[in-house]
Amino acid sequence: MNKVTTINLNGKAYQIEEAAYTVLHTYLEQAATKLEGNPDKEEIIADLEQAIGEKCSKFLTPHKNVVSAKEIEQVLKEMGPVDGAKDTTEDSSTEGTTGEKSGPKKFYLIREGALWSGVCTGLSAYFDMDLTLVRIIFVALTIITHGAWILVYFIMSMIVPHANTSEEKAAAHGAPFNAQELMNRARENWDHWNKKEWKKNWKEEKRKWKHQRKYEERYYHHNHHSVLDSLVAMVWIVFFVCLALVISHHTAEVNTVANEIASFFKNLYNNLPFNKS
Amino acid sequence: METINEKFAAIRKGLLEFLVLKIVAADKVYVADILKTLGATDFATQEGTLYPLLSKMRREGIVEYEWKESEAGPPRKYYRLTAKGEKELEETQDYWQHIITTIKKIGK
Cβ neighbours of residue B12 closer than 8 Å, sequence gap 6 or more: A97, B42, B43
Q: What is the pLDDT of residue A248?
A: 61
Angle (nearest 5°) at CA A225 between A28 and B51? 30
Distance CA A20, CA A18 (A): 5
Contact A10/B at CB under 8 A: yes
10 Å Cβ neighbour count for A55?
Answer: 19
Distance CA A258, CA A240 (A): 18
Distance CA A55, CA A88 (A): 25
Question: Are A80 and B13 a contacting pair at CB < 8 A?
Answer: no
Q: What is the pLDDT of residue A245?
A: 65
Asked if A189 and A201 touch (Cβ cutoff 8 Å), the reply is: yes
Q: What is the pLDDT of residue A259?
A: 79
Higher pLDDT, residue A239 or B7: B7
Q: What is the pLDDT of residue B82?
A: 93
10 Å Cβ neighbour count for B72?
Answer: 6
Nearest by Cα to A77 from A61, A98, A106? A98
Contact A160/B at CB under 8 A: no
Contact B100/A at CB under 8 A: no
Asked if A24 and A16 touch (Cβ cutoff 8 Å), the reply is: yes
Task: Give chain A's length.
Answer: 277
A80 chain-B contacts, CB cut-off 8 A: 45-49
* Closest CA of chain B from A78, distance in Å: 6
Query: Tens of pLDDT along B30-88?
Result: 888 899 999 989 898 999 999 999 999 999 999 999 888 877 667 888 899 999 999 99
- Please state whether the predicted TM-score (pTM) of the whole model is above 0.95: no
Mean pLDDT over residues B13-19, rounded? 91
Q: Residue A273 has what DSSP assignment? A: G
Residue B103 has pLDDT above 60, yes or no: yes
Contact A171/B at CB under 8 A: no
Q: What is the pLDDT of residue B18?
A: 93
Asked if A182 and A26 touch (Cβ cutoff 8 Å), the reply is: yes
Asked if A18 and A67 touch (Cβ cutoff 8 Å), the reply is: no
Nearest by Cα to A76 from A46, A55, A47? A55
Using CB atoms, pick whichever of A44, A54, A92 lies closest to residue B13: A92
Using CB atoms, pick whichever of A40, A48, A57 lies closest to residue B47: A48
Q: What is the pLDDT of residue A96?
A: 37
Question: Are B52 and A93 a contacting pair at CB < 8 A?
Answer: no
Query: What ranges in chain B are assigned the alpha helix state H?
Result: 4-7, 9-26, 31-39, 47-59, 83-105
Q: In the A/B pair of chains, how many CB contacts fall below 8 A?
A: 66
* Closest CA of chain A from B32, distance in Å: 9
Q: Residue B76 has what DSSP assignment? A: E
Contact A57/B at CB under 8 A: yes
Query: Per-residue confidence at B101, pLDDT binned at 50, 70, 90?
Result: very high
Contact A85/B at CB under 8 A: yes
What are the φ/ψ torsions at residue B77 (nearest 5 degrees)? -80, 135
Cβ neighbours of residue A32 closer than 8 Å, sequence gap 6 or more: A41, A45
Using CB atoms, pick whichever of B6, B44, B48 lies closest to residue A82: B48
Q: What is the pLDDT of residue A221?
A: 46
3-state secondary structure of A105: coil
Q: What is the pLDDT of residue A100?
A: 38
Query: Tens of pLDDT along A113-148?
Result: 787 788 888 888 887 778 888 888 888 887 777 777
Residues of chain A falling short of pLDDT 50: 86-102, 220-225
Q: Which of A24, A76, A83, A183 to mutate to test the interface with B (most CBs of B within 10 A)?
A: A83
Q: What is the pLDDT of residue A187?
A: 60
A248 vs A141, A215, A239, A241, CA distance in Å? Answer: 20, 38, 14, 10
10 Å Cβ neighbour count for A81?
Answer: 23
Asked if A66 and B77 touch (Cβ cutoff 8 Å), the reply is: no
Distance CA B58, CA B63 (A): 5
| b/e burial code for range B41-68 (CB count within 10 A of at least 16 → b) | eebebbbbbbbbbbbbbbeeebbbbeee
Using CB atoms, pick whichever of B10, B46, B74 lies closest to residue A50: B74
